[in-house]
Amino acid sequence: MSNPSRLDLLQGTLDLLILRTLATGPHHGWAIAERIQQISEDVLRVNQGSLYPALHRLEHQGLIKADWGVSELGRRARFYELTRQGRKQLEVETETWNRMSGAIGRVLKMA
């Protein structure tokens, strides 16, 4: 957007990042977006508009589950956590991603 150093997420990678973030424990939506941004050192920027549909989609697919909990500020918030199926899916997708980025990296280096 206005900041040239920030990247909008590649199509399809949001799900992977959400799953990876949730691998560290339950989080609510806003925290997920924040963590992705922080850990990527502000490079990856989650489009907040697409975050919630993605969360609901993953929930519907049974990869994550949601429950109401109390946030760090004492407010009621909706927390998401990985299901067993989600964990498996994360491994598969991580593996796929690594192979893909490795391959792309090699091609780029060679060229």
Site residues (CB under 8 A) for other proteins? 28-31, 34, 47-50, 52-53, 56-57, 60, 71, 75-78
Instruction: Give least dist CB 60 to other proteins, A.
Output: 6
Pick 12 or 49: Cβ nearer other proteins: 49
Beta bridge partners, 27, equal 80
**Residue 7 carries which side chain, given as an amino acid letter?**
L
Angle at 12 between CA 25 and CA 88, to 5 degrees: 45
Nearer to other proteins among residue 42 and residue 91 (C-beta): 42
> Which residue's CB is nearer to other proteins, number 53 or number 105?
53
Quote the distance between the C-alpha of residue 55 and its chain's center. Answer: 9
Q: How far is the CB of 87 from other proteins (least distance, A)?
A: 21
Q: Report the residue count for the chain.
A: 111
Shortest separation between residue 24's beta carbon and other proteins, angstroms? 18
Question: Least distance from C-beta 91 to other proteins, angstroms?
Answer: 24
Phi, psi of 94 (to 5 degrees): -60, -45
Phi, psi of 73 (to 5 degrees): -100, 10
